[in-house]
């Protein structure tokens, strides 16, 4: 008999925080946990863990309903509604921010929250890392995913593990034209870099192992401002990576964050800043509403149960990355309102900047 496929759904939203855009309130998390615990009791969920990264709440859920399941998406939606209610009662900042609709309509995608899901047959041992970022957008995963799954200087397994040596398939989404393309690496590495090197538009959505066809990574690619057509906040994406036994080792996945890269987001979603790897408890974006953060929680799946988490970036091995990131942050802040600290004009299209520029349009005279 074929084994049942388990689904890991990571669904996240920012529905208000304490103080300003810094951190979800413990009572919001408690409200969400109550609803998810009831769903587990009923048997809809096999297991769950509620994470909090900055002002975002991440619902990490396992079940046997498959990806894009209406009941699971509705559960996530209702949980975020519960947290919104708490945020409203406490007059927390930006209560209900990411919920772009008044009601749920079958699938949570397009309604504001970010979604990363994967469905697979659980291996004899199933190590998983869930990366969660605040104050940045889905393009933040392009460089680390490239390093994990395509760069032998990061992932030595690509060279010495026969199960990895064939490489991986990368599904890349064009978030502007709503198209997708799949690249087979390593042979199409240069072709893929044409696109994923521009992470404000092209994002890696899924990665598959060529040796087995199995799903290896999935990201959330929802762009709030593109969905709403106005500035709401940053998307603060999540990313699931399966590890070991023919996939990147846990340490190879984490290594991709040892050299902090620059991501779009930070203050008012309008600045480049270094992605700072931190423990979950340290994911409080303070300075200039940042710098952007990334948390990595590890779990072993056990018949759908989430054993863990292991809070990887709490480790001292990432102290140097943090130091470096903070140095880069100092340097970039020095540029103030000038590019390349500030994003380019086309990237600022959905911020409040065009409203200011518009008012000055009529004062321009022909040369």
* Contacts to ligand F6R by CB under 6 A: 20-21, 94, 135, 233-234, 267-269, 289
Q: What's the min distance (Å) between Cβ of 222 and ligand F6R?
A: 14
Q: What is the rounded CA–CA span in Å between residue 225 and residue 266?
A: 15
Q: Does 98 bind Mg ion (CB under 5 A)?
A: no
Q: Which is nearer to ligand F6R, 238 or 243 (CB)?
A: 238
Which x/- pattern, by CB under 5 A, does the window 247-286 give for Mg ion?
Answer: ----------------------------------------
Of 146, 202, 234, 272, which one is the catalytic site residue? 234
Active site (annotated) includes residue 231: yes
151 binds, among ligand F6R, Mg ion, none (CB under 5 to 8 A by kind): none
Identify the CA nearest to 155 among candidates 301, 80, 256. Answer: 256
Take residue 163 and report the two structure tokens written for it: 């199960």
289 near Mg ion, judged by CB under 5 A:
no
Catalytic residue among 49, 208, 231, 350: 231
Minimum Å distance from CB 186 to Mg ion?
A: 35
To the query of whether residue 14 is one of the catalytic residues in this protein, the response is yes
**Shortest Å, Cβ 234 to ligand F6R:** 4
- Calculate ∠ Cα 243-245-249, nearest 5°: 40
Interface region with Mg ion, contact rule CB under 5 A, candidates 90-98, 158-166, 237-245, 326-334: 90-98
CB 9 within 8 A of CB 304: no
Residue nearest to ligand F6R (CB): 289
**Smallest gap from residue 245 Cβ to ligand F6R (A):** 37
> Residue 117 or residue 134: which is nearer to Mg ion going by CB?
134
134 touches, from Mg ion, ligand F6R, none (C-beta below 5 to 8 Å by class): Mg ion
Size of the site for Mg ion (CB under 5 A): 8
* Active-site residue, 234 included: yes
Residue 289 binding target from Mg ion, ligand F6R, none, CB below 5 to 8 Å by type: ligand F6R
Stretch that binds Mg ion, among 205-213, 232-240, 276-284, 326-334 (CB under 5 A): 232-240
How many whole angstroms separate alpha carbon 297 and alpha carbon 270? Answer: 27
123-162: contacts with Mg ion (CB under 5 A)? 134
Residue 56 binds to Mg ion (criterion: CB under 5 A): yes
CB 301 within 8 A of CB 38: no
Residues with a catalytic annotation lie at 14, 231, 234
- The residues that touch Mg ion, with contacts defined as CB under 5 A, are 14, 21, 54-56, 94, 134, 236
């Amino acid at each position: 008999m074929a084994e049942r496929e388990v689904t890991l759904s990571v669904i996240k939203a920012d529905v208000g925080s304490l103080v300003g855009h810094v951190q979800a309130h413990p009572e919001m998390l408690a409200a969400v946990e109550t609803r998810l615990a009831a769903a587990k009791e009923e048997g809809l969920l096999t297991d769950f863990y509620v994470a909090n990264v900055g002002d975002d709440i991440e619902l990490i859920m396992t079940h046997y309903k498959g990806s894009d399941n209406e009941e699971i998406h509705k559960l996530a939606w209702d949980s975020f509604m519960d947290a919104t209610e708490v945020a409203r009662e406490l007059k927390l900042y930006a209560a209900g921010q990411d919920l772009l609709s008044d009601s749920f309509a079958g699938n949570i995608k397009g309604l504001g929250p970010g979604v990363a899901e994967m469905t697979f047959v659980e291996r004899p041992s199933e190590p998983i890392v869930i990366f969660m970022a605040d104050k940045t957008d889905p393009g933040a995963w392009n460089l680390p995913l490239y390093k994990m799954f395509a760069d032998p200087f990061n992932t030595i397994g690509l060279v010495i593990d026969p199960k990895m040596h064939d490489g991986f398939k990368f599904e890349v989404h064009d978030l502007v034209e709503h198209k997708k393309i799949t690249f087979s690496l390593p042979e199409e590495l240069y072709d893929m870099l044409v696109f994923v090197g521009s992470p404000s538009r092209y994002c890696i959505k899924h990665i598959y192992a060529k040796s087995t066809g199995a799903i290896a990574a999935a990201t959330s690619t929802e762009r709030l401002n593109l969905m709403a057509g106005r500035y709401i906040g940053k998307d603060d994406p999540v990313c699931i990576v399966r590890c070991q036994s023919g996939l990147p080792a846990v340490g190879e996945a984490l290594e991709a964050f040892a050299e902090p890269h620059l991501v779009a987001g930070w203050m008012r979603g309008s600045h480049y800043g270094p992605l700072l790897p931190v423990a979950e408890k340290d994911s409080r974006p303070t300075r200039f509403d940042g710098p952007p953060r990334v948390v990595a929680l590890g779990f072993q799946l056990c018949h759908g149960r989430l054993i863990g988490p292991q809070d990887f970036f709490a480790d001292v091995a990432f102290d140097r990355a943090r130091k470096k990131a903070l140095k880069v942050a100092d340097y970039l802040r020095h540029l103030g309102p000038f590019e390349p600290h500030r994003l380019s004009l086309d990237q600022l299209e959905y911020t409040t900047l065009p409203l200011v520029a518009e008012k000055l349009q009529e004062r321009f005279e022909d040369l």
